[in-house]
Homo-oligomer: A and B are copies of this chain.
Amino acid sequence: VKVAVIGAGSTYTPELVDGFARRQDVLPVDELVLHDIDPFRLERVGQLSERILIRSGFAGRLTRTLSLDEAVTGADAVLIQLRVGGQQARIVDETLPHGFGCLGQETTGPGGFAKALRTVPVVLSIADRVRELAGPDAWIVDFTNPVGIVTRSLLDAGHRAIGLCNVAIGFQRRFAEQFSVAPSDVSLDHVGLNHLTWIRGVTIGGADVLPELLSRFGEEIAERVGSPLGLMSTLGAIPSYYLRYYYARDEVLAEQLSGPSRAEEVLEIETALLEMYADPTLDVKPALLEQRGGAYYSEAAAQLVCSLVADTQDVQVVNCRNDGTIAGLSDDAVVEVPAVIGRGGARPVASAPLGAHERGLVQAVTAYEELAIEAARTGDMRAARLALLSHPLVGRWPLADDLLRALLDANRAHLSKFEQTGAW
């Protein structure tokens, strides 16, 4: 079994490799390949990863390479966790929209759109190499944001892909702690699109403990997802943290305008982390990594790859084709729902229909996503304008047009598709 990690220079990677080490009995990985285009980060991150694996008694091999082809050749699973344009591009995603009265966020709104434009063509071209060098049976696991958009563009192009997010697993682990049960005893009725989900039920031992959760830990949950209890009781659900960018868009914008961008914070944390990683005595992940975000990503990713390769047929929350799961969306839409995972991929599990509110928002954002994918794939200016006009956080004209021009200008170095369609 060979697993390749693309964008392995991420500071998350040490935790990820640890996840594979801890699952050796279920999935004996023979080779774990780390790939990045940044030699410095690859070395730093790779060296710490190596020390961690030694400490864990990992039986397989860890290799590092700057060559994508080398990395993916013969892989059973390829994890994609790259960031086109790095934290610098993210700063633009998070701040440029402010000038237009919009909040800045790297996975939704104008910033998320810019990230989609930058990312989709790069991931698609990596996927083409995977198909060629690892064969049609290799799985692509996408953790690169915006996960829903990237996953759908992979599936539309015929790739064997599943999208991964750490939101659901994070809730599952926290609820398990709160009820002192094993994480696998907690099942979530988590439904929607990536970063646009609601937890409508939390089942432990067959009983729905959501009401108890809200009454006992309501304040903590409200804090965590940034939504007040009144909203949660109206929804009858816990909205994802990312829904705050919709429900509390004005407050978020005000906060953003008065503080440093998240990208700047992350940049600082990452610099510190990479510094620490250089310490040859360090062989565990440093505490600071928890401030990096992406908690439990390593858990989620290692668990998903295990199930895909070892065919465990267990239920995990992933991003996959809708196929009738959410009524009111086309079968081709990519949704984030519980699915049975095995070697054949993810088969979503039926759930209760969405309420009208959730359905309407999910439909509106799916429309945006379709147009964003078309724009990213082709560089088509009309699709790009319509994408922004369709996004609930934009939805205005000439705002959509003005924003588009500014985003294209600021991201010019990463948007070769638009070069071809004469955007400039």
Contacts and interface: CB of A to CB of B under 8 A. Distances in A.
Interface string A307-343: 0011101010000010111011011000000111011
A250 B411 CA distance: 27
Given A234-B389, A324-B325, A389-B234, A357 B367 contact: yes
A357 B340 contact: no
Contacts of A206: 309-311, 342-344
Q: Which of A207, A228, A234, A401 has the most CB of B within 10 A?
A: A234
Assembly stoichiometry (copies): 4
Dominant secondary structure at the A interface = mixed
Interface stretch (A67-75, A160-168, A297-305, A345-353): A345-353
A294 interface: no
B366 A234 contact: no
A396 B350 contact: no
A359 interface: yes
B363 A367 contact: yes
A370 interface: yes
Contacts of A52: none
Contacts of A392: 364, 392, 395
A203 interface: yes
Contacts of A357: 367, 371, 386, 389-390
Contact of A327 (B231, B331, B349, B371): B331
16 contacts: A203-B311, A227-B397, A228-B398, A247-B395, A247-B396, A247-B397, A324-B325, A327-B331, A328-B363, A339-B350, A340-B349, A347-B350, A355-B386, A357-B389, A392-B392, A392-B395
Given A206-B311, A347-B349, A360-B368, 7 more contacts: A187-B342, A201-B344, A246-B396, A313-B315, A328-B363, A338-B340, A392-B395
